[in-house]
Chains A and B, each alone.
Chain A
Amino acid sequence: MLATAIIVFREVLEAALVVSIVLAATRGVTRRALWVGGGVLGGLLGATAVAWFAEAIAAAASGVGQELFNATILFAAVIMLGWHNIWMSRHGRELAKDLKNMSAAIRSGTRPMHVLAAVVAMAVLREGSELVLFLYGVAASAPNEASGMLAGALTGIGIGVAVGATLYLGLLRIPSSRLFAVTGWMILLLAAGMASQGAAFLVQADVLPALGQRVWDTQGLISDEGIVGRVLHALVGYTAHPDGIQVLFYLITLCGILTLMKIVNAPTRANPLAGAAAAARGMQNHSS
C-alpha cells in the first residue's frame, strides 16, 4: 500500500502544483472553478484514453511516439502559458488595481481562461496516463489486493492535493496588488521548465542533440529523487544534471516570453488603445 501511495503521490504532485498556480493566478475570476474543474476532468478522460492507446502511441514514429507525444503536450502547454502571460502583461495592471472593481469584461469573457483550463488538462493528462497504467498494472497482477491498492492510491492523491493546497493557500497570503506579479513569474518559470522537459524528451527520441550531457551536476546538493527536487522540478524545471539543450530551451522560453510581454505592454503610437490606457494610469497615479 505504501509503495502504491508513494508512486501515486509522485505522479499527482506535478499536476497538483500546476493546478494550484493556475487557481492563484485566476483569483477573482468568476466561474474559474468551473474552468479549472473542467480542465481536470478533461485531463482525466484524456489520461485514460492515452493509457488505453499507450502501446499504439509508443509504437508510432518508429518507436519514439511516446517521446514525441510528451514533447508535443509540453510545448503546447508552454505556448498557452506564454500566451496567458502576454495577455496579462496588457491587462494585469487593471486587474491588480482592485480585485473588486475589476471591469466585468475582464472578469468574465475576455480573460483567457480556456487557455489555462487547457494547461490544467494537459498537466493532468500527462501525469495521469502514467498513473492509470500503473494502477491498471497493480490491479491486473494482484486482483486480491485491490483494496490495499485503492487505499494507497487515495493516500497518494490526498498527499499530492494537500501539497498543492498548501502552495495555493500560501499564494493567497500575498496582497492582491502583488499577487498577479508573483503568479506571472511562477507561470513564466513553469513554462520554461516545461520547455526544458520537452527538449529532454526530444533528446531521448534522438530528434535533437543533447549539446553536452551534464552541463552541471547538483545531485549532491538537491537530489532529483528527493521531495525538494521533485517540487522544484515541477515549479521551476529543476533537474540535477541538465543537458545543454535543456538549458538552451529554458533560456529561449524565458527570454522569448519576457520579450513579447515587454513588446505588448509598451505603449506605442501604433496602438492608440494601449497609449490611452497608459495615459489614464498616469493620471490616476497623479491624482492619488
Chain B
Amino acid sequence: MKKSLTSLLLTFLALGAGFSVAEALAADDTFNLTIKDHRFEPAQLDVPAGKKLKLIVRNLDPTPEEFESRDLKREKVIAGKGQATISIGPLKPGTYGFVGEFHESTAKGQIVAK
C-alpha cells in the first residue's frame, strides 16, 4: 500500500514536471498591471480565453500590497516598489475579479477573458 502510494506520487510528480516543461516551451502571453496610489491600472484587463497567461504586476507605491483573486485562486504579496509575476489560465470566457487586499476599498479590478 505504502509502495503503491509512493509510486503514484512519483508518477504524478513526473507528470507535473512534464506538463511544466511543455508549458514553458509554449511561450506565454504576458500582460501588465500597475499599482499606483492603491489603484490598479488598467482596472479592466482584456485577455484571450483558453490560453496560459503571465501577469506582471508592478507596485509603484512605496507600501506592500497583496494581489488577491478568489475567482482566479491567486494570492501574492508584492513588496513596495516591487513586482511579481503571476501565471494564470487557461481561462474560460468570463469576468474574474481581483483586489489589492491591503487597500480593498480602492484597489479593485477585473480580468475579462474573451
Answer yes or no: A133 CB below 8 A from chain B CBs.
yes
Asked whether, in the complex, the Cβ of B62 is within 8 Å of the Cβ of A141, the reply is yes
Interface size on B, residues (CB 8 A): 36
List A residues 9-67 near B (Cβ within 8 Å): 54-55, 58-59, 63-64, 66-67
Residues of B close to A206: CB separation below 8 A: 20, 23, 87
Residues of A close to B63: CB separation below 8 A: 136-138, 140-141
Which B residue sits closest to A141, measured CB to CB? B63
Q: How many A-B residue pairs have CB under 8 A?
A: 89
**Looking at chain A, what size class is its interface with the partner chain?**
35 or more
Asked whether, in the complex, the Cβ of B102 is within 8 Å of the Cβ of A7, the reply is yes
CB contact between A252 and one of B9, B70, B80 (< 8 Å): that residue = B9
In this complex, the member of B5, B64, B66, B85 whose beta carbon has the largest number of chain A beta carbons within 10 angstroms is: B64
Contact digits for B64-95, partner A, Cβ 8 Å, 1 yes 0 no: 11100010011111111010111100001000
Answer yes or no: A130 CB below 8 A from chain B CBs.
yes
Asked whether, in the complex, the Cβ of B2 is within 8 Å of the Cβ of A260, the reply is yes
Inter-chain CA distance A156–B70, complex, in Å, is: 22
B19 to chain A, nearest CB (A): 4
User: What 15 additional pairs, Cβ within 8 angstroms, besides A7-B102, A137-B65, A140-B63?
Assistant: A3-B104, A54-B79, A58-B78, A58-B82, A63-B84, A63-B85, A66-B84, A134-B64, A137-B64, A141-B62, A203-B73, A204-B73, A241-B73, A259-B1, A263-B1
